Structure 1
């Protein structure tokens, strides 16, 4: 499921865009007021924001700047009827993915949306492991963990234990199996109780209930 936020004070235009990009697996939300859009963005997670430049209250550039400060990785498409190069230059400096004229056809706009989310899907498949139930995203390349929009600090080994369970949801592992998978047992002598310590710290830091104890076995991620 990908979440898309469309922002434009031109209701007719943005509603038309919404109809053009409706695709299975996409949740599309429209906001006609950029301030309300920003408020929603702080409460909910979005993979892509499509916004107009010229709007009342705050313009699209200010909106994008604030959203990027909240979530730097969010993808952005800016649609505008003002093709001035100085606006485009600022947008690109804000790491807008595409700066498009509103004169483009709905088919082309939809093409850009699909391209961004297709690229994002490939990236996620390679590096990101998620739990929708817990609102957790773990980046295997950057060793970053987010609970919603909040970055959680884990040690390297805590991260590896978490990632192991996110990769193998609903499968029970004994302590010895976890050690064999994540430690170099040929050169390390690991007390199985160290797994309990890592699990406890992960639960405390992430405030999760999905990582459960299985009496007589070990642990499992229920989802």
Structure 2
């Protein structure tokens, strides 16, 4: 595995470089956003780790730029910010995961494995999903609802929508959704699910009528034919 880390704190970079070497991971490092972008364009990476606060170009701007260019490379954000609004910004820009500083290398490694396992997973099912209102091509990531394109979803919002479409009317707790969609136990951060549900309800027409809150349990997705 080859990972690009864009981090301006030398102690954090040194810690990750040492840990990566023990894990057999090739790590490239950049100290500012512009250098990180140049390295990203020049190399091929399995995953990017971006610090939120960076000189030159901050991590959020870098994440947005990479996504605008059409890349689906997994991105993990490192940040001291842990409010829901900050998480919304990160996920909105296309980040796949969010690790709050200070963090342990083992925790970060668990997130890395989960993200890469999820993105590399090959499912022996059709790439086309058709429901009452939706037609989704998982390979091209095209979404139609009532024949109209839905093109504003982040990679993680797309994954969550696909999971719900494949499991209609089933009720899932936040923990189950984190495990199934994010690929691991996201202890202490169940708000991540709430943030993504909120965004899907807002971005998809009549989303409030599709993504249902089951009080005391979690969420379910249900369509009703007219």
**Superposition deviation, residue 116 in structure 1:** 1.4
SS in 1 for 2:28: strand
Residue 39 in structure 1 maps to residue 35 in structure 2: no
The alignment partner of 1:9 has SS state of: coil
Shift of residue 30, structure 1, vs aligned partner = 0.9
TM-score normalized with structure 2 length: 0.51
Paired residues for 1:129-148 under 5 Å: 141-142=139-140
Residue aligned with 1:91, SS: helix
Contact 1:76 1:96 in 2 (8 A): yes
Whether 2:63 is the aligned partner of 1:64: answer: yes
Aligned length in residues: 130
1:79–1:92 CA distance, 2 compared to 1 (3 A): same
For residues 56 and 2 of structure 2, what CA distance do their matches in structure 1 show? 24
- TM-fit CA distance, 1:25: 5.8
Mapped partners of 2:123, 2:10: distance in 1: 32
Q: Deviations over 1:102-141 (max 9, x none)?
A: 12222111111111122233349999xxxxxxxxxxxx94
- 2:76 maps to what in 1? 77
What is the CA–CA distance in structure 2 between the aligned matches of 1:39 and 1:26, rounded to whole Å?
Answer: 21
Aligned counterpart, 1:96: 95
Pick closer, same or farther for the CA change 1:126–1:44 going to 2, 3 Å.
farther
Pairwise mapping of residues 15-54 of structure 1 onto structure 2 (< 5 A)? Answer: 15-22=14-21, 26-54=25-53
Secondary structure of the residue that 1:96 maps to in structure 2? coil
Shift of 1:70: 2.5
CA distance in 2 between counterparts of 1:82 and 1:14 reads 19
Tell me the distance in 2 between the aligned counterparts of 1:46 and 1:59. 19
What does residue range 151-162 of structure 1 map to in structure 2 within 5 Å?
A: none
Which whole-Å CA distance do the structure 2 matches of 1:14 and 1:124 have between them?
35
Label 1:126 to 1:74 Cα distance change in 2 as closer, same or farther (>3 A). Answer: farther
Give the Cα–Cα distance (whole angstroms) in 2 for the partners of residues 13 and 29 of structure 1: 13
Report deviation, 1:24. 5.8
Q: Check 1:141–1:33 CA distance in 2 against 1; reply closer, same or farther (3 A cut).
A: closer
Displacement of 1:43 in angstroms is: 1.7
Structure 2 unaligned runs (5+)? 127-137, 141-226
Q: Give the secondary structure class of the aligned counterpart of 1:103.
A: coil
Q: CA RMSD in A?
A: 2.8
User: Take 1:4 and 1:125, find their aligned partners in 2: how far apart are those partners?
Assistant: 28
Contact 1:15 1:30 in 2 (8 A): no
Aligned partners of 1:27, 1:124: CA distance in 2, in Å? 28
**Structure 1 position 121 matched with structure 2 position 120:** yes
5+ long unaligned stretches in structure 1: 128-139, 143-223
Tell me the equivalent position of 2:54. Answer: 55
Instruction: Select the structure of larger CA radius of gyration.
Output: 1
Extract structure 1 runs of 4+ deviating beyond 6 A: 124-127
